[in-house]
């Protein structure tokens, strides 16, 4: 091992506080991003579920007749 003792490993010849602070910030931000993504996913899934339920409820009710009807016109490019 490159270090004589565990305390020498932690201090890393004076660079330890910087190195361990960087690791701590990285893992805290990683955990926060995981939490926020899972929360956003749950919110999106709930919104989709509500939308599907709304569409299902809307299809059970008689829809009003459309005010106008439109037919597709095939245009020839001769």
Residue 26: C-alpha distances to residues 7, 13, 18, 22, 62 (Å): 22, 22, 12, 6, 55
Cβ count within 10 A of residue 2: 6
How far apart (Å, rounded) are the C-alpha atoms in residues 38 and 32? 10
Q: Above 60 in pLDDT, residue 1? A: no
Q: Above 70 in pLDDT, residue 72? A: yes
pTM of the predicted protein model: 0.58
Render 39-60 in DSSP notation, one character per residue.
Answer: HHHHHHHHHHHHHHHHHHHHHH
22-55 confidence digits (pLDDT tens)? 999 999 999 999 999 999 999 999 999 988 887 7
Of 2-6, 9-13, 14-18, 59-63, the range with the lowest mean pLDDT is 59-63
Average pLDDT over residues 52-76: 75
């Amino acid at each position: 091992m490159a270090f004589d003792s565990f305390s020498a490993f932690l201090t890393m010849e004076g660079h330890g506080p910087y190195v361990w602070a960087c690791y701590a910030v990285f893992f805290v931000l990683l955990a926060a991003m995981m939490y926020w993504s899972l929360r956003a996913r749950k919110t999106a899934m709930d919104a989709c579920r509500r939308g599907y339920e709304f569409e299902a409820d809307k299809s059970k009710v008689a829809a009003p007749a459309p005010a106008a009807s439109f037919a597709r016109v095939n245009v020839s490019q001769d």
